[in-house]
Chain A
């Protein structure tokens, strides 16, 4: 394997890790506030569809992005209503959202575009296009011939869409918000012991809705990234389990922002390798089934949960609706 192949794989890792990262941070906000959310998948899918559909109709990817965020926020609102206001079961609500999104996206896509449940292909201003840094080389042949440093600059750092750079910024932002602000302190507290927050005179419901809303926004961006940056248009079930891998990454990261970055990039690497069976065979000298790599994030999560590699303790009030006691 030459250096350029390595860079190519890492480049693919970045592109594939970004939606995982956004969804993982989305889940982090929600779960740190005590609301388990297995509906990340459904929210991403809905956002992917609506951002592609609206971008295609209006010709503006930005309006598409807003539509995607709105769709995801709507589903977050449903989840919040069910699990915070009506104190329902958070898992059931999440499952319902996943089913709803899987079915409705295809149904609406067929009714609007009649293209077998897809949106039309997006191009130009309907997509988030790669941003090329000044001086970066753009064609594969040019990059291949350049120095290693230039290869890193042109292939790995440059040439991603705006959302990629934004997603990377959300990691320090999340960390700062959680550990350096009043809002973060309260958010973490409400996921550990809502009664402590309530008796301190702070609204448990308000905090949890805020967390769920942030989760909705981040999922919305993740979904928009799938259909308007990674791909050029929506296809059926395009989230392809990423919401669940993001949840696995969240456990793997033990609900911490920087670790979420590492975990999602690790899982992104697996996905990138899944696409390059030739490289794996060249490196380790034997064939590995792509499906095994696809399953690896889940296998590693089970290992983590079994307590072999440190202990993953979820937020203590997670999954429990808050009921005032006497």
Chain B
């Protein structure tokens, strides 16, 4: 479920501002995006990572959380060892005898799900509030924007820590924490864009037609505010994944039964000092690649979707 919403949103965003023109906006968007080889490469890697995560249970040689498949005798094997079950542990095993490669695939799944899921919920919450602030103005605007200011004046880790200290750990609580941390970015961005857009003629026209307010806001105003939001959404997915990994590493994030990459890294931490680097190192590389690749795609999206940079 991870990549499709973002991708679908990207396409509709590219379509939205250019529907007036006759050329196909999607093709132009793809052509613009493909100008950077690095971004295309990053996108391909991201798709591969997402597929690996989605089909983890098919690809992984072992279900790392089915105790019947684990052999404690295979614990802490270095990469390349052939285990008792007959297949090679290409990335070694952890202290419980889990195949690290399988563990990473299942961990990726949790990391991506939590990251993309919470970034998307934050997107919906933040965008709705930002649009309300811009369209209604006055007290609504002051109240919402003061909240945004307050939220942004505290660092993300502190807010997340506070929430998890009260709610305890668990996937849902991590999602709540990330949404609380991230919504303000969307709200601030969409308000800025929407304030400009709402003075345009098409909004005036819609108001003259006496369309309902929700319809004007969500059918007319929102689609024209989407491009900068898409960029933020991409970047925030990467930030959400990093934040979730950090919280899980600190032992405040996901439970042991559903380990994300961050928790895998934390599990291997104590063995790293004794030279068994692979238990932490490979999940770390998976995390690194995921975050960097999403950022590279986001960077190119920003260039493509920014009207000021358009040739």
A and B held together in a complex: no
Q: Chain A interface (Cβ within 8 Å of chain B)?
A: none
Q: Chain B interface (Cβ within 8 Å of chain A)?
A: none
